[in-house]
Amino acid sequence: MNSLQTAPATRLSQLNPGQEATISAIHAGSEVGLRLAALGFRIGKRLRVMRRGFLSGPLHIRLGTTDVIIRRQDALQIHVAV
């Protein structure tokens, strides 16, 4: 996204169904960030992509005991380490 990043980080939106990853960074504004935190998106947390929506629809993510759906553009803000 900008030139300061050396190695492009993997975004949550790039993961395939069934793939697991650990959250490494959340680049969301305070509004989205708070909501993400309340739903369990925290750095270091393990997550799993259950499925990707038809026609660029939202992603279905499982974090611990919570399942959430998140639009791809919001998932772009979340960096993960596979």
Partner 1 sequence: MKRVALLGMPNTGKSTFFNRLTGASARVGNWPGVTVDLLAAPILLGGHMVELVDLPGLYDLHGFSDDEKVVRHFLENNAVDLAVILVNAVQVERQLSLALQVRQLGLPCVLLLNMADEARQYGIRINVQEMAAQLGIPVVLFSAKYGDQQGEVQRTLAKTLDTARPVQLETVRRSLESDDAIEQTMGRIMEAAVEVPPRLSDNLTDQLDRLVLHPWLGLPLFFFAMFLLFQAVFWLGAPLQDGMEWLFDTLRTNALDPALAGAPEMLRGFLLDGIYSGIATVAAFVPIIVLFFLFMAVVEDTGYLSRAAYLTDALMARLGLDGRSFVMLLMGFGCNVPAVMGTRVMRSRPLRLLSMLIIPLSLCSARMQVFLFIISAVFPASQAGLALFSLYLFSFATAIVTALLFRKHFRSNEPFILELPPYRLPTLRQVLVRGWLEVRHFLTRATKIIIAGVVLVWVLTHFPMGVEEAGPESYAGIIGHWMEPLLSPLGISDQLAVALIFGFVAKEVVVGSLAVIYSLQGDALTQHLALQMDWVQAYSFMLFTLIYTPCLSTIATLKAESRSNGFALFAVVWPLALAWGVSFAFYQGARALGF
Counting contacts by CB under 8 A, is residue 70 touching partner 1?
Answer: yes
Counting contacts by CB under 8 A, is residue 66 touching partner 1?
Answer: yes
Counting contacts by CB under 8 A, is residue 32 touching partner 1?
Answer: yes
49: tokens are 């992509």
Tally of CB atoms within 10 A around 49: 21
Counting contacts by CB under 8 A, is residue 38 touching partner 1?
Answer: yes
Counting contacts by CB under 8 A, is residue 68 touching partner 1?
Answer: yes
Which residue type is seen at 59? L
35 membership: H or E segment, kind and range = helix 30-38
Measured distance CA(28)–CA(8) in Å, rounded: 17
Question: Which residue, 6 or 30, is less far from partner 1 as judged by CB?
Answer: 30
Counting contacts by CB under 8 A, is residue 25 touching partner 1?
Answer: no
Radius of gyration in angstroms for the set of CA atoms belonging to the chain, rounded to a whole number: 12
Q: Give the binding site for partner 1 (CB under 8 A).
A: 28, 30-32, 34-40, 42, 50-51, 53-58, 60, 62, 64-71, 74
